[in-house]
Amino acid sequence: MAFVIREFTPKDIQALMEIWLQANCRAHSFIPSSYWEENYEYVSRELLKAEILVCEVEEQIAGFIGMQEDFLAGLFVRIEKQGQGIGTALLKEACRRHEELSLRVYEKNENAVRFYKKYGFVLRESDTDAETGETEYLMRYTGKKELLFEQITLQDGRRVEELSQLASSVVKEVFDPMIGAEQNDYMIHLFQTVPAIKGQLENGYTYYMVKDASGDVGFLAFYPRDGMLYLSKFYLKSSARGRGYAGRMFDFVKKKAVEAGYGKIFLNVNKKNPAAAVYRHMGFQLLREEKNDIGNGFYMDDYVFLYQI
């Protein structure tokens, strides 16, 4: 059977949602179908924000796979086309494009668990889905490319300057469309200049530059706060996104938290930031909302997320 795998276009949405609803109801007989029906409109909106690959058979959409950064949000095949290799073709293409992928799958969905294990996904942890009360597995596929973490200290004057340049560039790209250039430039001055970073290092921040074979691709920073580890910075260059690096970076942060004796990690994320969905997929839970005055008439309007190790 000849498969054509292509990028999603908005005109596909109706066919994709039909497949999504039918496939979920069939695979999750242990969850009332009303649950999927109630989430139909929400998912249809979220699909428009995701990276989606569509599989066509004889010019008909037979299945699709959706990703948000390095999180595999779902793999769905039209019921009458299941068992014909469509899901395998989609998953292999997703793994080809991503260095790493993680996903959540219900424990009772045994066929899916076996399928993902067959193609290299490893069970990392399990927890309870708050909405359904069902046990979910977190599974992860990891590529083999090396990712290095270089700690930046006050003594590394040149690297602090390079960190400031990278941070300012990435934050400018991410937040200008979100909060406006005026507020973003003000915040970059407060938090990402060389003097600002040096001041943070003097006050207990730990900074790491993230590197792959091409050089510096991102950075992260954290420090102890309120008996937990506060993840203050977690960024990647646009050219490095979609390679599975975010999951590996967070694994590194979790390791450092455990080494320091912390069982919880928390962070702030702007309410307009699509990364909120990525943090949720990583296992963060909403702790609270807060709005902080940062001066000059500007506010940080955030969600606060908590991760329990």
Amino acid symbol at 54: V
pTM of the model: 0.59
CATH number belonging to the domain at 148-308, selected among 3.40.50.1970, 3.40.630.30, 3.50.30.50, 3.40.50.10190? 3.40.630.30
Residues 293 and 306: their CA atoms lie apart, in Å, by 22
Q: How confident is the model over 12-29, as pLDDT tens digits?
A: 999 999 999 999 999 999
Residues 231 and 169: their CA atoms lie apart, in Å, by 20
For 4-142, which CATH class? alpha beta
pLDDT more than 90, % of the chain: 79
Question: Residue 142 above 80 pLDDT?
Answer: no
Residues 103 and 47: their CA atoms lie apart, in Å, by 16
Tell me if 206 sits within 8 A of 257, measured CB to CB: no
The alpha-carbon radius of gyration of the chain (Å, integer) is 21
Question: Residue 141 above 90 pLDDT?
Answer: no
Name the token pair of 56: 């066509």
Name the token pair of 61: 């959409």
Q: How confident is the model over 111-139, as pLDDT tens digits?
A: 999 999 888 888 888 999 999 999 999 99
Q: How confident is the model over 179-234, as pLDDT tens digits?
A: 999 999 999 999 999 999 999 999 999 999 999 877 899 999 999 999 999 999 99
Name the token pair of 299: 């506010």
Question: Residue 56 above 90 pLDDT?
Answer: yes
Q: Where in the chain is the domain with CATH 3.40.630.30?
A: 4-142, 148-308
What's the confidence (pLDDT) of residue 147?
A: 82
